[in-house]
Protein backbone atom coordinates (compact mmCIF):
# COMPACT_ATOMS: atom_id res chain seq x y z
CA UNK A 1 0.00 0.00 0.00
CA UNK A 2 1.10 3.56 -0.65
CA UNK A 3 2.32 5.57 2.35
CA UNK A 4 -0.12 7.92 4.05
CA UNK A 5 0.54 11.39 2.66
CA UNK A 6 0.78 14.03 5.40
CA UNK A 7 0.62 17.82 5.39
CA UNK A 8 1.78 19.51 8.61
CA UNK A 9 0.17 22.88 9.42
CA UNK A 10 1.66 24.80 12.35
CA UNK A 11 2.98 28.33 12.68
CA UNK A 12 6.00 27.23 14.73
CA UNK A 13 8.92 25.94 12.60
CA UNK A 14 10.33 24.00 15.55
CA UNK A 15 7.07 22.07 15.90
CA UNK A 16 6.97 21.31 12.18
CA UNK A 17 10.60 20.16 12.21
CA UNK A 18 9.97 17.96 15.23
CA UNK A 19 6.92 16.34 13.69
CA UNK A 20 8.65 15.80 10.35
CA UNK A 21 11.61 14.18 12.08
CA UNK A 22 9.37 11.90 14.12
CA UNK A 23 7.16 10.86 11.23
CA UNK A 24 9.98 10.35 8.73
CA UNK A 25 11.05 7.24 10.63
CA UNK A 26 7.73 5.52 9.83
CA UNK A 27 7.77 3.67 6.48
CA UNK A 28 4.00 3.98 6.02
CA UNK A 29 3.99 7.77 6.51
CA UNK A 30 5.20 10.41 4.05
CA UNK A 31 5.32 14.12 4.94
CA UNK A 32 4.62 15.76 1.57
CA UNK A 33 4.49 19.35 2.75
CA UNK A 34 4.33 21.96 5.49
CA UNK A 35 2.21 25.08 6.02
CA UNK A 36 2.56 27.92 8.51
CA UNK A 37 -1.11 28.94 8.44
CA UNK A 38 -4.51 28.00 7.07
CA UNK A 39 -4.07 29.99 3.87
CA UNK A 40 -1.00 27.93 2.96
CA UNK A 41 -2.93 24.74 3.65
CA UNK A 42 -5.66 25.80 1.23
CA UNK A 43 -3.05 26.74 -1.37
CA UNK A 44 -1.24 23.39 -1.10
CA UNK A 45 -3.92 20.72 -0.76
CA UNK A 46 -4.86 20.52 -4.43
CA UNK A 47 -1.28 19.97 -5.58
CA UNK A 48 -0.03 17.82 -2.68
CA UNK A 49 -3.20 15.75 -2.21
CA UNK A 50 -2.53 14.82 1.43
CA UNK A 51 -4.46 11.98 3.00
CA UNK A 52 -4.17 13.55 6.46
CA UNK A 53 -3.61 17.18 7.46
CA UNK A 54 -2.14 17.70 10.94
CA UNK A 55 -3.77 21.04 11.76
CA UNK A 56 -2.90 23.47 14.53
CA UNK A 57 -5.79 25.76 15.45
CA UNK A 58 -4.32 29.06 16.57
CA UNK A 59 -2.32 30.37 13.63
CA UNK A 60 -1.95 33.91 12.29
CA UNK A 61 -4.09 34.95 9.34
CA UNK A 62 -6.35 32.06 8.42
CA UNK A 63 -6.71 29.91 11.54
CA UNK A 64 -7.29 26.20 11.78
CA UNK A 65 -11.08 26.20 12.15
CA UNK A 66 -11.54 28.51 9.18
CA UNK A 67 -9.23 26.33 7.09
CA UNK A 68 -11.07 23.16 8.13
CA UNK A 69 -14.39 24.75 7.19
CA UNK A 70 -13.03 25.76 3.77
CA UNK A 71 -11.66 22.26 3.15
CA UNK A 72 -15.05 20.77 4.03
CA UNK A 73 -16.85 23.17 1.71
CA UNK A 74 -14.44 22.28 -1.10
CA UNK A 75 -15.09 18.59 -0.58
CA UNK A 76 -11.39 17.96 0.03
CA UNK A 77 -10.43 14.29 0.33
CA UNK A 78 -7.78 15.10 2.94
CA UNK A 79 -8.92 14.34 6.47
CA UNK A 80 -8.02 16.74 9.25
CA UNK A 81 -6.46 15.65 12.53
CA UNK A 82 -6.32 18.66 14.82
CA UNK A 83 -3.05 18.75 16.77
CA UNK A 84 -3.12 21.57 19.28
CA UNK A 85 -2.41 22.61 22.86
CA UNK A 86 -6.00 23.55 23.65
CA UNK A 87 -8.85 21.27 24.69
CA UNK A 88 -11.54 23.67 25.91
CA UNK A 89 -15.05 23.63 24.46
CA UNK A 90 -14.42 26.87 22.60
CA UNK A 91 -11.75 25.12 20.51
CA UNK A 92 -13.07 21.57 20.34
CA UNK A 93 -16.68 22.18 19.30
CA UNK A 94 -16.00 24.59 16.39
CA UNK A 95 -13.18 22.39 15.03
CA UNK A 96 -15.30 19.25 15.01
CA UNK A 97 -18.33 21.16 13.74
CA UNK A 98 -16.21 22.50 10.88
CA UNK A 99 -15.36 18.98 9.78
CA UNK A 100 -12.24 17.75 11.61
CA UNK A 101 -12.02 13.95 11.78
CA UNK A 102 -9.94 13.87 14.95
CA UNK A 103 -8.65 16.04 17.77
CA UNK A 104 -5.39 15.34 19.58
CA UNK A 105 -3.22 17.35 21.96
CA UNK A 106 0.45 18.12 21.35
CA UNK A 107 1.51 16.41 24.56
CA UNK A 108 0.20 13.06 23.29
CA UNK A 109 2.75 10.22 23.41
CA UNK A 110 4.45 9.39 20.11
CA UNK A 111 2.65 6.06 19.68
CA UNK A 112 -0.71 7.67 20.35
CA UNK A 113 -0.05 10.26 17.63
CA UNK A 114 0.99 7.55 15.16
CA UNK A 115 -2.14 5.52 15.89
CA UNK A 116 -4.27 8.64 15.53
CA UNK A 117 -2.77 9.49 12.13
CA UNK A 118 -3.38 5.99 10.81
CA UNK A 119 -6.92 5.91 12.20
CA UNK A 120 -7.68 9.33 10.70
CA UNK A 121 -6.45 8.14 7.31
CA UNK A 122 -9.01 5.31 7.57
CA UNK A 123 -11.73 7.84 8.32
CA UNK A 124 -12.06 6.87 11.97
CA UNK A 125 -12.85 9.54 14.55
CA UNK A 126 -10.00 10.10 17.00
CA UNK A 127 -10.32 12.14 20.19
CA UNK A 128 -7.84 12.88 22.95
CA UNK A 129 -9.11 11.45 26.26
CA UNK A 130 -9.63 14.92 27.76
CA UNK A 131 -11.55 16.01 24.65
CA UNK A 132 -13.76 12.93 24.80
CA UNK A 133 -14.43 13.66 28.47
CA UNK A 134 -15.48 17.22 27.58
CA UNK A 135 -17.92 16.00 24.95
CA UNK A 136 -19.39 13.26 27.12
CA UNK A 137 -19.86 15.80 29.91
CA UNK A 138 -21.68 18.10 27.51
CA UNK A 139 -23.97 15.29 26.39
CA UNK A 140 -24.79 14.35 29.97
CA UNK A 141 -25.63 17.93 30.86
CA UNK A 142 -29.27 18.84 30.19
CA UNK A 143 -29.42 20.56 26.82
CA UNK A 144 -29.69 24.32 26.87
CA UNK A 145 -32.94 25.93 25.92
CA UNK A 146 -33.37 27.12 22.36
CA UNK A 147 -32.32 30.60 21.35
CA UNK A 148 -35.04 33.18 21.71
CA UNK A 149 -36.28 35.11 18.68
CA UNK A 150 -34.25 38.14 19.78
CA UNK A 151 -31.12 36.04 20.31
CA UNK A 152 -31.54 34.62 16.82
CA UNK A 153 -31.80 38.15 15.43
CA UNK A 154 -28.58 39.11 17.22
CA UNK A 155 -26.78 35.98 16.00
CA UNK A 156 -27.84 36.64 12.40
CA UNK A 157 -26.59 40.22 12.56
CA UNK A 158 -23.27 39.10 14.03
CA UNK A 159 -22.96 36.49 11.27
CA UNK A 160 -23.47 39.28 8.73
CA UNK A 161 -20.49 41.10 10.20
CA UNK A 162 -22.22 43.74 12.32
CA UNK A 163 -20.43 45.05 15.39
CA UNK A 164 -22.21 45.22 18.74
CA UNK A 165 -22.95 48.86 18.05
CA UNK A 166 -24.22 48.11 14.56
CA UNK A 167 -26.47 45.33 15.80
CA UNK A 168 -27.78 47.58 18.56
CA UNK A 169 -28.63 50.27 16.02
CA UNK A 170 -30.42 47.83 13.76
CA UNK A 171 -32.52 46.45 16.62
CA UNK A 172 -33.05 49.80 18.40
CA UNK A 173 -31.58 48.53 21.66
CA UNK A 174 -28.44 49.38 23.65
CA UNK A 175 -24.98 47.88 23.18
CA UNK A 176 -25.16 46.59 26.74
CA UNK A 177 -28.29 44.63 25.82
CA UNK A 178 -26.53 43.20 22.77
CA UNK A 179 -23.65 42.06 25.00
CA UNK A 180 -26.12 40.40 27.36
CA UNK A 181 -27.78 38.60 24.46
CA UNK A 182 -24.37 37.43 23.23
CA UNK A 183 -23.49 35.99 26.64
CA UNK A 184 -26.76 34.04 26.62
CA UNK A 185 -26.07 32.85 23.07
CA UNK A 186 -22.57 31.66 24.02
CA UNK A 187 -23.94 29.77 27.00
CA UNK A 188 -26.71 28.10 25.04
CA UNK A 189 -24.45 27.09 22.16
CA UNK A 190 -21.58 26.03 24.42
CA UNK A 191 -19.05 28.40 22.86
CA UNK A 192 -16.81 31.23 24.04
CA UNK A 193 -16.70 33.79 21.26
CA UNK A 194 -18.50 35.32 18.27
CA UNK A 195 -16.73 33.25 15.60
CA UNK A 196 -17.53 29.99 17.35
CA UNK A 197 -21.16 31.05 17.88
CA UNK A 198 -21.53 31.74 14.16
CA UNK A 199 -19.85 28.43 13.26
CA UNK A 200 -22.13 26.42 15.54
CA UNK A 201 -25.11 28.47 14.34
CA UNK A 202 -24.48 27.33 10.76
CA UNK A 203 -23.78 23.77 11.87
CA UNK A 204 -27.11 23.55 13.74
CA UNK A 205 -29.10 25.18 10.97
CA UNK A 206 -29.84 28.32 12.99
CA UNK A 207 -28.14 30.36 10.27
CA UNK A 208 -28.34 29.96 6.53
CA UNK A 209 -25.91 31.22 3.91
CA UNK A 210 -27.11 34.39 2.25
CA UNK A 211 -28.22 33.77 -1.32
CA UNK A 212 -26.60 35.70 -4.12
pLDDT in tens, 116-134: 999 999 999 888 888 787 6
- Are 118 and 155 in a shared domain? no
Query: Domain check: are 134 and 156 in the same one?
Result: no
* CATH code for the domain of 125: 3.40.50.2300
Residue 212 lies in a domain: no
CA distance 97 to 191: 12
Q: What is the pTM of this model?
A: 0.66
H-only helix segments in the chain: 13-24, 38-48, 64-74, 89-98, 110-121, 129-140, 149-159, 164-171, 175-189, 194-203
pLDDT for position 143: 47
Domain count, the chain: 2
**174 and 81 in a common domain:** no
**Per residue in 53-105, pLDDT tens?**
999 999 988 999 999 999 999 899 999 999 999 887 778 888 888 899 999 99
Q: What is the mean pLDDT of the chain?
A: 89
Q: Is residue 208 part of a domain?
A: no
List the CATH number of the domain containing 199: 1.10.10.10
Q: Give 162-174 pLDDT, tens digit per residue.
A: 999 999 999 999 9
Please give the pLDDT value at position 191: 86
Question: Are residues 144 and 188 in contact, defined by beta-carbon separation less than 8 angstroms?
Answer: yes
Domain coverage including residue 43 = 4-139
pLDDT number for residue 52: 97
Pairwise CA distance, residues 208 & 159, whole Å: 10
Residue whose C-alpha is closest to residue 125's, from 98, 141, 104? 104
CA 211 to CA 108: how far, in whole Å?
43
Amino acid sequence: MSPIRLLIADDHPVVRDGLRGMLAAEPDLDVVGEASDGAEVLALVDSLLPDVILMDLRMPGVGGVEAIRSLTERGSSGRVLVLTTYDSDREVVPALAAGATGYLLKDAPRQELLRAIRATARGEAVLAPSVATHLVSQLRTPSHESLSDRELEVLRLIAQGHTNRGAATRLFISEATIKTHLLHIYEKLGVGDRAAAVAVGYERGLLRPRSG
